[in-house]
Amino acid sequence: MKMNQVIISEFLIKEVIDHARNQLPYESCGLLAGTDGKVNSFWVLENELKSDRRFFVSKTEVAKTLEQIAERKENVIAIYHSHPTTAAIPSSYDMINHPDSTIKMLIVSFKSEPPEAKCYHILHRTYLECPFLIET
């Protein structure tokens, strides 16, 4: 299994965490995009469920965002979402609904402070933590 490292700047991971914190008590979600495993941009998606245990984004919003990412000549590197009260580990629901094994999953947990972010490779309803580097 190929385990490419995901690289994100300290600034962008802080933005992701701030977005997630601002959505509490609900789960937040979005896309991380860039090239060659390096995240250059993040894209906020609206959790239409307004739930602390699940997120859902309409196909229309996802398609519109994917178009904007393609216009920037970037690729989706990871889907991020938050766990407001649970650990940064994919749930069975997360794994079943993950759309593409070539895209990583980043989870931000607010179970304790400071929040914890972890990155995973999802394949066949299993997960494996993948290398995740925050550049300062």
Give the pTM.
0.94
- pLDDT of the residue at 4: 82
- The CA distance from 23 to 126, in Å, is 27
The single-letter DSSP state of residue 136 is -
Domains of the chain: 6-135 (3.40.140.10)
- pLDDT of the residue at 3: 59
The three state secondary structure string of 22-89 is HHCCCCCEEEEEEECCEEEEEEEECCCCCCCCCCCCCHHHHHHHHHHHHHCCCEEEEEEEEECCCCCC
Residue type, 88: A
pLDDT digits (tens, 9 = 90+) for 12-67: 999 999 999 999 999 999 999 999 999 999 999 999 999 889 999 999 999 999 99
- Cα torsion 15, 106, 72, 8 to 10°: value is 60
Q: Which residues pair with 80 in a beta bridge?
A: 30, 106
Residues 6 or more apart whose Cβ sits within 8 Å of residue 9: 39, 134, 135
- pLDDT of the residue at 125: 87
